[in-house]
């Protein structure tokens, strides 16, 4: 599986590289970034190296892909987004995304995920794209709703994260809905 560079004009989504190790450490060591994620905040730069290797293995195994989100004309990682749990048999995948707090509320994630959705439906031929959201993560639920995702339900104790069971809300977007709805 290939991970292309995607561009929206304002943003560039590119493969995460070794040169991003320090930026990834800075990013994922921030408790605000990892608050609703299934990972603990990083405490050692080796964790950034390990997650880069994880992203590469996931791509090689055709199970997932993760892009660095950068501002066009700048090459500094400000967040990540991607697909995981790719299921070719059922033409679906789950999405995940994160952004450094300095960039929250500026429409960056809507643009990045919108670009990623276009690639997923048009190039990867997904029929269904899913997202699991912590019920307390109002910003993520709002983002998905703004991107035409539909709320499908509340899953009690859906995941075991950070030594506790956590609930999740399930959202999805289908190819036929994506072609009807305007993402941008």
Q: Are 28 and 42 in contact (CB under 8 A)?
A: yes
Whether the model pTM is above 0.75? yes
On whether residue 31 sits in a domain, the answer given is yes
Cite the beta strand spans of 29-163 per DSSP E: 65-71, 79-87, 92-99, 128-133, 150-161
**CATH number where 95 lies:** 3.40.630.30
Number of domain units in the chain: 1
Q: Are 131 and 172 in contact (CB under 8 A)?
A: yes
Q: Are 6 and 116 in contact (CB under 8 A)?
A: yes
On whether residue 1 sits in a domain, the answer given is no
Q: Are 130 and 93 in contact (CB under 8 A)?
A: yes
Q: Which domain holds residue 99?
A: 6-180
On whether residue 101 sits in a domain, the answer given is yes
On whether residue 120 sits in a domain, the answer given is yes
Q: How does pLDDT run along the chain (184 residues), one tens digit per residue?
A: 789 999 999 999 999 999 999 999 999 999 999 999 999 999 999 999 999 999 999 999 999 999 999 999 999 999 999 999 999 999 999 999 999 999 999 999 999 999 999 999 999 999 999 999 999 999 999 999 999 999 999 999 999 999 999 999 999 999 999 975 555 5
Looking at residue 180, its pLDDT comes to: 55
């Amino acid at each position: 599986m290939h991970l292309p560079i995607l561009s929206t004009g304002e943003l560039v989504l590119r493969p995460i590289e070794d040169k991003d190790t320090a930026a990834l450490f800075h990013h994922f060591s921030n408790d605000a970034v990892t608050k609703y994620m299934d990972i603990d905040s990083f405490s050692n730069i080796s964790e950034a190296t390990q997650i880069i290797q994880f992203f590469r293995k996931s791509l090689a195994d055709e199970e997932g892909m993760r892009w660095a989100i950068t501002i066009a004309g700048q090459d500094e990682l400000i967040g990540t987004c991607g697909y995981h749990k790719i299921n070719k048999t059922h033409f679906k995948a789950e999405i995940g995304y994160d952004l450094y707090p300095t960039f929250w509320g500026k429409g960056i994630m809507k643009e990045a995920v919108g670009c990623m959705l276009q690639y997923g439906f048009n190039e990867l031929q997904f029929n269904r794209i899913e997202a699991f959201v912590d019920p307390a993560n109002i910003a993520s639920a709002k983002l998905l709703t703004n991107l035409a995702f539909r709320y499908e339900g509340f899953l009690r104790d859906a995941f075991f994260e950070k030594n506790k069971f956590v609930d999740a809300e399930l959202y999805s977007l289908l190819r036929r809905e994506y072609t009807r709805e305007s993402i941008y």
